[in-house]
């Protein structure tokens, strides 16, 4: 066995030192009845060699035929370009085989990178404080609502139906714990969160309103600044869920006075990986810093006055505060946060803007081509959009989707995956990875399919 390097002689020496004869004697404190059950039931396949495992895993990975398809899939996870630098850097063993920086003097590399990550997220979102990561966006939304409740003690959580349906499900699950009230706000005919309903629902009991921008259907919430104002006039908190790439061009949450910002950071340097690990981005205003969940890295000095970095405000955290902690989170997504720090450093202001423009460009090119070339389809939402939009067919979307699949195209997400009644619609996403040729091929194929 390669991963326990002991020789039989060493094992013998160690056993003799312990005055025992067999390894089994080390388990004498486990009741025999339990050991016996384990002997009977702990039955696993025999070990395989690296060569066999390579062959087996390559075979399994080849069953994922989707890897060779042209993809227009989005809905919270996006196929963005990951510069080679990132994979190299997050593969440095001193980074990826380290753990939570409990000993800052030998963890300065990661701590400084996370301090830089926090700074970059603040700049990206226009906020004053960012934590060192949460798991992903869905649980981030739930943590944000719990934080709002800690801040103002009010029990109604309002959330737009423009928020990703899976994030909403996560929020509902979490709210069964602390038992807060969950209320959804529908979209209007333009696909934006309905202002009238917001006004109707805001009350003394409203803790926060949660909006995603651009929303799940790709629509830019054009009244977001006004909505934020309404929420604040009501003495409630405004929580904004972002698609970080869009902030290369779109207004930052800090510019419309968001109180808490949550985002899915996968798009900033992490592969799709069938849904994880991703990165929960979490930022807020300085005034709320003591209510923030998760780890926070701060600057300090060493005994000689040199700048260094440590985990700070640890009295918010479970290992110190236990039942009174702001969250139970311990392990987070530090390595994904590192990937994002490298990504944003590498692209910088110019690069991120360019990627955002490319995404916008591809999506608008596609919409124009679809509009020009295909009659039997419509766009249910006329509003502004960034890189994703809904198309509606006259026939079941499944038919179109399957036909395109036969041509090795993954035509986005059939909306009936989440909303059974919406069986004629697809949600299409475009990134800088999609070429105009791919988009032309998509349009041409849809045209053929609809004939």
Partner 1 sequence: MKEIPLIYEISNEDRDTISLPQDIEFFPQEELPKELLRKDLPLPQLSEVEVVRHFTNLSLRNFGIDLGFYPLGSCTMKYNPKINEELAHLPGFTKIHPYTPEDLSQGCLQIIYELEKLLCNITGMDRFTFQPSAGAHGELTGLLIIKAYLKDKGERRNTVLVPDSAHGTNPASAVMAGFKTIEIPSDERGLVNPNILKKYMNKDIAVLMLTNPNTLGLFERNIEEISEIVHREGALLYYDGANLNGIMGYARPGDMGFDVVHINLHKTFSTPHGGGGPGAGPVGVKEYLTHYLPKPLVDFDGEKYFLNYNIPKSIGRVRSFYGNFSVLLKALIYIKLMGEEGLRKSTEIAVLNANYLKEKLKDIFNLPYPSLCKHEFVLSGKKQKEKGVRVLDIAKRILDFGIHAPTISFPLIVEEALMIEPTETETKYTLDNFVSVLEKINREIEENVDIVKTAPHNTPIKRLDEVLAVKNLKVKWG
Contacts (CB under 8 A) with partner 1, residues 184-213:
none
**Interacting residue with partner 1 among 178, 199, 200, 373 (CB under 8 A):** 178
Q: Which is nearer to partner 1, 9 or 451 (CB)?
A: 9
- Pick out residues in 268-287 that bind partner 1 (CB under 8 A): 271-278
Distance, CA of 387 to CA of 366 (rounded, Å): 10
Q: Which of 325, 371, 403, 450 binds partner 1 (CB under 8 A)?
A: 325
What is the rounded distance in angstroms from the CA atom of residue 281 to the CA atom of residue 209? 18
Q: Which of residues 328-347 bind partner 1 (CB under 8 A)?
A: 328-336, 338, 341-342, 344-347
Return the residue of 96, 196, 199, 200 that touches partner 1, per CB under 8 A: 96
445 binds partner 1, rule: CB under 8 A: no
Total chain residues near partner 1 (CB under 8 A): 203
- Sheet containing strand 129-130, edge to edge, reads 129-130, 280-284, 260-264, 237-242, 206-213, 156-160, 181-185
Which one among 300, 373, 399, 419 touches partner 1, defined by CB under 8 A? 300
- Residues in 355-414 that interact with partner 1 by CB under 8 A: 355, 357-358, 360-361, 364-365, 368, 384, 405, 410, 413
Q: Are 131 and 117 spatial neighbours (Cβ–Cβ below 8 Å)? A: no
Q: Which of 43, 153, 406, 451 binds partner 1 (CB under 8 A)?
A: 43
Q: Is 233 in the site for partner 1 (CB under 8 A)?
A: no
Question: Considering the rule CB under 8 A, would residue 42 count as an interface residue with partner 1?
Answer: yes
CA atoms within 13 A on the CB side of 1: 8
Taking CB under 8 A as the rule, does residue 437 contact partner 1? no
Sheet holding 413-414, edge to edge: 377-378, 388-393, 425-429, 413-414
Q: Determine the 3-state secondary structure of 71 from DSSP.
A: strand
Which parts of 241-270 interact with partner 1 (CB under 8 A)? 247-252, 255, 264
Nearest to 265 by CA among 218, 335, 193: 335
CB of 235 vs partner 1, minimal distance in Å: 25
C-alpha torsion 53→56→58→63, nearest 10: -150
Asked if residues 424 and 396 have their Cβ atoms less than 8 Å apart, the reply is yes
């Amino acid at each position: 066995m390669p991963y326990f390097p002991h020789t039989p002689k060493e094992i013998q020496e160690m056993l003799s030192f312990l005055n025992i004869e067999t390894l089994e004697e080390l388990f004498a404190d486990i009741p025999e009845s339990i050991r016996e059950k384990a002997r009977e039931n702990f039955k696993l396949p025999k070990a395989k060699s690296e060569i066999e495992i390579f062959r087996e895993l390559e075979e399994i990975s080849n069953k994922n035929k989707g890897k060779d398809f042209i993809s227009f899939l989005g809905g919270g996870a996006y196929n963005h370009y990951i510069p080679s630098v990132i994979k190299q850097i997050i593969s440095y063993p001193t980074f990826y085989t380290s753990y939570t920086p409990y000993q800052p003097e030998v963890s300065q590399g990661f701590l400084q990178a996370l301090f830089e990550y926090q700074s970059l997220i603040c700049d990206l979102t226009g906020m004053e404080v960012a934590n060192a990561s949460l798991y992903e966006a869905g649980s981030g939304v739930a943590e944000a609502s719990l934080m709002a409740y800690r801040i103002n003690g009010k029990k109604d959580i309002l959330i737009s139906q423009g928020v990703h349906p899976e994030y909403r499900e996560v929020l509902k699950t979490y709210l069964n714990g602390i038992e807060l009230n969950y209320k959804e706000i529908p979209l209007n005919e333009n696909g934006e969160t309905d202002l009238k309903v917001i006004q109707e629902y805001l009350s003394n009991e409203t803790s926060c309103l949660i909006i995603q921008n651009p929303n799940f259907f790709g629509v830019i919430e054009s009244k977001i600044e006004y909505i934020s104002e309404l929420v604040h006039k009501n003495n409630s908190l405004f929580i904004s869920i972002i698609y970080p790439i869009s902030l290369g061009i779109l207004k930052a949450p800090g510019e419309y006075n968001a109180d808490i910002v949550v985002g899915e950071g996968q798009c900033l340097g992490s592969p799709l990986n069938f849904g994880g690990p991703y990165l929960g981005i979490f930022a807020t205003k300085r005034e709320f810093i003591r209510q923030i969940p998760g780890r926070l890295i701060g600057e300090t000095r060493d005994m000689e006055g040199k700048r260094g970095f440590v985990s700070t405000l640890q009295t918010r955290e479970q290992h110190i505060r236990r039942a009174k902690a702001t969250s139970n989170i311990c392990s987070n997504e530090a390595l994904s946060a590192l990937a994002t720090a490298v990504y944003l450093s590498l692209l910088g202001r110019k690069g991120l803007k360019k990627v955002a423009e490319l995404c916008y460009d591809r999506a608008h090119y596609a919409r124009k081509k679809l509009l020009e070339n295909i009659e039997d389809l419509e766009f249910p939402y006329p509003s502004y959009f960034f890189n994703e939009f809904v198309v509606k067919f006259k026939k079941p979307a499944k038919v179109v989707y399957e036909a395109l699949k036969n041509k090795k195209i993954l035509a986005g997400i059939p909306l009936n995956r989440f909303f059974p009644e919406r069986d004629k619609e697809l949600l299409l996403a475009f990134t800088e990875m999609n070429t105009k040729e791919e988009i032309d091929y998509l349009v041409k194929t849809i045209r053929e399919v609809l004939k």
